[in-house]
Amino acid sequence: MSNRKTLVAENLARYDDQAKKAQICLDMVQRGGCNLEFVPDEFKTYELCLAAVKKDCYAIEYVPENHKTKEICLEAVERRSDTLKYVPEELKTDELCDIATSKNDRAFTWTPVEYLFKKIEQHGSLHLLKDMPILMTYELCLKAVKKSDDALQYVPKEYKTVELCFEAGKHSNFANVSEYVPDDLVELFGRTKLQVDDTPEGFFSRAIKNGSHILKFVPKELKTHELCFEAIMSDEKGHGCGWTLEYVPENLKPAICLDVVKKNGGALNYVPEEFRTYELCLEAVAAEAYDSDYALNYVPKKHRTEELCLIAVKKAGWALEFVPEELKTYELCLEAVKNAGYALKYVPEKHKTKESCLAAINNYGRAFEFVPENLKEEVAAEGQ
């Protein structure tokens, strides 16, 4: 090519008339626009460059930067979209980029990043960045899935949050996007039908009815006291098992833990140690739910007072198993076996009197096996 350029220059040097030289250059580009490459720079006038581009749009590659005007760039891009790559950045207007990209998506390769983002926000065309994932932001992906069914498949794995998948499913038939939803979220969106007018609050309020474990998917800002409590209480036929307390925000845990153990003392098992206050433990052992009978087992030893243990055994005698030995008074043991004869198994030998043993077998006949040998004959006689 350099040889040809040299030959053209040598040919032009044979003439003294500048007009003649200009005509020769014009003839060259009229025969082939890309011949502009071999025209000496001093003869590349604006008019010559425009003529070259009109003859062959790819001639824009050889147009000097100072001659690349809106007119010349438009002339090239209107013919072939890939000539956009030769257009100066400052001339890549939305209008010019629209013309280029309307002809071929490949033209997006040469559009400004700002233009790309604008189109993604308008149409959800996230595929335009599939080869440039570094340009994807969470906010951009969120806007895209609200606009297009296809966008979710191009969202990076780390951005596929509950919030983003919620918006994707809401603005599409979930079946259309389900294959691109992370496995751990399929159950959430598969079991709870998304509706077009859904709000996150409304959706998650319905979703937690399918299981309290759904609480782990709820965005932190939507985890209200009411929602968390409703989720936990949806387990164990409305009694609440409490294991989902781990998904409750720290600032809500004290109040939630108290409300939960009031309904089901057994949930004390899932209450973090730092929240197991004496008052909370007292509520747990006094709760009415069946699982509350075992609440004393989860009470820290420092809180197992005579008052608390008495409440526990009056409600469920077998809780005597978890009463500290030093607190097993005769009165407390008697209350326990009156409530549940089986508790006689946990009564210290010194408190197994005729009275306490009779109370036990009158409540539960099989408790007789725990009666001391020296009392069995007498207790058996009177127990009949």
- For 102-161, what is each residue's pLDDT tens digit? 988 889 999 999 999 999 999 999 988 888 888 899 999 999 999 988 899 999 999 998
In the predicted structure, residue 216 carries a pLDDT above the cut 50: yes
Domain spans, the chain? 119-192
Confidence of residue 236 (pLDDT cuts 50, 70, 90): low
Listed residue (217, 208, 136, 115) closest to 152, CA to CA: 136
- 163 within 8 A of 219, measured Cβ to Cβ: yes
- Assign 98 to helix, strand or coil: helix
The CB density around residue 276, as the number of other CB atoms within 10 Å, is 19
pLDDT at 53: 96
Q: 2: pLDDT confidence band, cut at 50, 70 and 90? A: low
pLDDT at position 238 is: 44
User: Token pair of 348, please?
Assistant: 């210290």
Question: CA of 234: how far to CAs of 131, 189, 240, 263, in Å?
Answer: 45, 18, 6, 12
* pLDDT surpassing 80 at residue 345: yes
Taking the C-alpha atoms of residue 234 and residue 313, their distance in angstroms, rounded to an integer, is 28
Decide: residue 318, CB within 10 A, 0-12 exposed, 13-18 middle, 19+ buried.
Answer: buried
- Of 259, 319, 256, the closest CA to residue 287 belongs to 259
Distance CA 63, CA 29 (A): 12
How large is the average pLDDT for residues 247-261?
Answer: 92
Give the pLDDT score at 299.
Answer: 97
How far is Cα 184 from Cα 187, in angstroms, rounded to an integer?
Answer: 7
What's residue 290's pLDDT?
64
Task: Give me the mean pLDDT over the 184-206 stretch.
Answer: 78
Given a contact cutoff of 8 angstroms between Cβ atoms, the answer to whether 166 and 189 are in contact is yes
